[in-house]
Structure 1
Amino acid sequence: MMAQFEYSTLAHPQDIQQLEHILEQCFISALGGEEAYINMIGVENFRIIRRLEQVAGGLATLDMGQWWGGQRVPMTGIAVVGIAPEYRGSGAAIALMQHTLKELYDRGIAISALYPAVQSLYRKVGYEQGGSWCIWEIATQNIQVREQPLPLELVASINHEVFHELYQQQARQTHGYLDRHPAIWERIIQPNDKEIVYTYLIGTKDQPQGYIIFTQERTNNGEILFVKDWVLTTVAAAQTFWSFLASHRSQIQQVRWKSSAIDSLTLLLPEQTAKIQTTSRWLLRIIDVVKALELRGYPPGIQAELHLEIQDNLLTENNGKFILSVANGRGEVTKGGKGELQLDIRELAPLYTSLFTPYHLQIAGKLNGTETAILTATQIFAGASPWMADFF
């Protein structure tokens, strides 16, 4: 299938124009201007697929990192996968993804993540559910947190560098958080034509303990305050966050924010009045088994050895038996071993991210293993519910 198509970078002006038209049709201008979006991501970060000299589709690659077990793992996000309608069903999308994944492997990338329009396409090339993306909602009158232990300071001139250190403090402790690509920061802090972005540091300017970035919108269902981004590094910051949002109750009916499917922020609320308004799962692909397993962090109290047997029909370097030895929070991988836990590269993703336990993956028919291997994998891959605050 790959041989039917020509894979390349996006360079020629006519190719850029063709891809803009394809993305405009695929996403119904949801990107907010295809030319501006391509420029923001960088032309050099797009890949296209051709058939008979015509651009059949393309995608964007966002090189960044993702935090797993307190360690940053090199990750490439895949965005705006778009195929022209006349080429859908021709195998163009599969070929585009296969070429891209081979390129990422050659470049030394450990893992890749994306948000699927449909899961079936990406499962064919080795992606599987990796974590959650959720939007929570609460009526402002139900927050009922009044104590505000810290001051808030309005940030007039917004630059993401101001927030970067605070964000990284939270990211290191959050299973699945991104070490963000500059374009993701840009979309958080830069308003579109229809919104005003408000930004506050929580705490003093010299010693900030968090921040909140939000917009306000008037809808048919009332006024909504949407938190675009937040970081809270102390309990005082979390209490101030809720108190500040509650203070909007005379003008704002609902507050929405992004958080985990298991949201610890809601523990500060007096009642279970916050609800998940929107939820979906993003997908992960292990690109380089050895790098992915060695760069990830593990529970520091565990010393164990897991014998894996992995099948990868696309990236054959990942095929075979591996021994993962874990000690002092880090892992080391060697070839060989007994192959006591057998799984496809696709099923390694939700195990790697701790989205599902080995037991539940086994019950779902996603892996096979001895009782000892299942127990060992459960200890090694124990972790908080993985989630991402960013959609790309």
Structure 2
Amino acid sequence: MPIRALTERDADAATRLRRTALGRPGRPVPGPGARGLVAELDGDLAAVLTIGDFHQFWGGRTVPMGGVGAVAVDPRARGRGVTGALLDAALRDLREHGQPLAALYAPTPAPYRSRGWERAGVLEWLDLSSDQVPAGPRLPARAVREDDLPALHACYADLASTVNGLVDRAPPAVAVRDVLDLDVASVLPGHDGEVRGYLTAERTRHGLRVLDLVARDATALAGLLGGLRDSVGPADRIALRVVDPAVTGLLTGQGVEVAVTASHWMLRVVDLPAAVAARGWPAAEGLRDTTVDLDVVDEHAPWHAGRQRLVVEGGAVRVEPGGTGAVTVHARALGPWFAGTQDGHALRRAGLLDGDARLLDRLVGAPGVPRLADFF
């Protein structure tokens, strides 16, 4: 079946398709920092997806990542191999665009697991009332101004670099200035033009929907939380998107029950050598020079399938062709391993790995649950 790039000419048909398949229109065509693919069947548009140009933090370094979203298939085309063909084309497209990772949110995981994606992290929201937010010190926060935007983004990026999975929110995929259009955008100035912390939110009929609560230190975080408490009435609810896991600790440490809603996202390693080369490997600095021989089983990404040798040398890590293939790793195991979500024991029990994976586990050494704070 023909699969090609999504163009302006497809806008109306893609909007109708998304509304039929997903119940919402979505964007007619991708904007800056994104592209799309469509599949045709019997001369009609049968499926569509978009790919955003992101960079995701792993081990303190950013790895190019394609954010796959708005996957919609015409109900009349289901069961005819359209989804699989479109995802196969997306894998090739991701590699051609230099994106060795691909992440997505999947309401129905099975089609994506069949193409090598697996659950790797969470996007979390906390639901609480204003009286569940601890009172904090009064700090001189003010509204965000245009000239604050570079420092505000730097504040976010400094935090994001310490949390595996967060994207760097670089343009054009993310427009930092969009915060100026939000109902609430307050900043806590620091020294020499630095932003010490900031809060962004939008008001809904249910209360306040907090998009970012980011701070450089505990006092600033407590102050922003206190300001959040003052921003809503006693009957209002607060939905808080978790960017910094420290926020969860401060809130749930109050001895009050807090509801947590988690959206699980899936990760796919599209190009293993490129992904390993781009990732940070802090744990490798403490390891002696060594290797582990892999046999990568991946029929949908043949460019990295087969025998690959993972080399740790001088604190750096790389993947090169060759080796004995002593450790068999299936495509679905690569994402959870790369993210540090599952260790070798769990992957072995799931039938996705066979062999001695102790070095792989030591290499990842990533504390905490990988998380995203953006939806695509």
TM-score by length of 1: 0.86
Q: 1:25 aligns with which of 20, 23, 27?
A: 20
Q: Give the 3 Å change call, closer, same or farther, for CA 176–322 of structure 1 in structure 2.
A: same
1:106-125 superposed Cα distances (whole Å, 9 cap, x missing partner): 33321111111210011111
Equivalent in the alignment of 2:287: 302
Equivalent in the alignment of 2:249: 267
Query: How much has 1:340 moved relative to structure 2?
Result: 3.0
Question: Percent same amino acid at aligned positions?
Answer: 24
Q: 1:99 aligns with which of 82, 85, 89?
A: 89
Q: Work out the CA distance in 2 between the residues paired with 1:40 and 1:256.
A: 28
Q: 2:135 aligns with which of 141, 145, 159?
A: 145
TM-score by length of 2: 0.89
Within-5 A mapping of 1:43-192 = 45-148=35-138, 150-155=139-144, 161=150, 163-180=152-169, 182-185=172-175, 189=179
Equivalent in the alignment of 2:198: 211
Is the aligned partner of 1:10 residue 2:6?
yes
SS of 1:332's equivalent in the other structure is strand
Query: How much has 1:234 moved relative to structure 2?
Result: 1.7
Output the amino acid matched with 1:387: R
SS of 1:45's equivalent in the other structure is strand
Query: How much has 1:163 moved relative to structure 2?
Result: 2.7
Output the amino acid matched with 1:24: R
Equivalent in the alignment of 1:254: 237
Query: How much has 1:247 moved relative to structure 2?
Result: 2.4
SS of 1:130's equivalent in the other structure is strand
Q: Work out the CA distance in 1 between the residues paired with 2:259 and 2:291.
A: 38
Equivalent in the alignment of 2:217: 234
Give structure 2 stretches of 5+ with no counterpart: none
Q: Give the 3 Å change call, closer, same or farther, for CA 366–89 of structure 1 in structure 2.
A: same
Is the aligned partner of 1:375 residue 2:364?
no
Task: Answer whether contact 2:121 2:341 (CA < 8 A) is retained.
Answer: yes
Task: Answer whether contact 1:188 1:228 (CA < 8 A) is retained.
Answer: no
The 10-residue stretch of structure 1 (288-297 or 158-167) with the greater mean CA deviation from structure 2: 158-167
Q: 1:278 aligns with which of 219, 236, 261?
A: 261
Give structure 1 stretches of 5+ with no counterpart: none
Task: Answer whether contact 2:68 2:103 (CA < 8 A) is retained.
Answer: yes
- When the two chains are superposed, the root-mean-square deviation of aligned CA atoms in Å is 2.5
SS of 1:309's equivalent in the other structure is strand
1:15-69 superposed Cα distances (whole Å, 9 cap, x missing partner): 33211211122232363xx44xx25357x71211112321112111111211100
Equivalent in the alignment of 2:325: 339
Output the amino acid matched with 1:238: L
Output the amino acid matched with 1:173: T
Query: How much has 1:175 moved relative to structure 2?
Result: 0.3
Task: Answer whether contact 2:30 2:36 (CA < 8 A) is retained.
Answer: no
Query: How much has 1:99 moved relative to structure 2?
Result: 1.0
SS of 2:286's equivalent in the other structure is coil
Q: Work out the CA distance in 2 between the residues paired with 1:57 and 1:67.
A: 30
SS of 1:256's equivalent in the other structure is strand
1:135-192 superposed Cα distances (whole Å, 9 cap, x missing partner): 11222212233324x321112559855532222111211100112353544796376x
Task: Answer whether contact 1:78 1:114 (CA < 8 A) is retained.
Answer: yes
Q: Give the 3 Å change call, closer, same or farther, for CA 105–255 of structure 1 in structure 2.
A: same
Query: How much has 1:389 moved relative to structure 2?
Result: 0.6
Query: How much has 1:78 moved relative to structure 2?
Result: 0.8
Equivalent in the alignment of 2:273: 290
Equivalent in the alignment of 2:373: 389
Output the amino acid matched with 1:141: D
Q: Give the 3 Å change call, closer, same or farther, for CA 160–62 of structure 1 in structure 2.
A: farther
SS of 1:216's equivalent in the other structure is strand
Q: Work out the CA distance in 2 between the residues paired with 1:274 and 1:177.
A: 26
Task: Answer whether contact 2:294 2:307 (CA < 8 A) is retained.
Answer: yes
The 10-residue stretch of structure 1 (136-145 or 85-94) with the greater mean CA deviation from structure 2: 136-145
Q: 2:352 aligns with which of 362, 366, 373?
A: 366
Q: Work out the CA distance in 1 between the residues paired with 2:8 and 2:178.
A: 30
Q: Give the 3 Å change call, closer, same or farther, for CA 265–301 of structure 1 in structure 2.
A: farther
Q: Work out the CA distance in 2 between the residues paired with 1:280 and 1:94.
A: 23
Aligned residues: 369
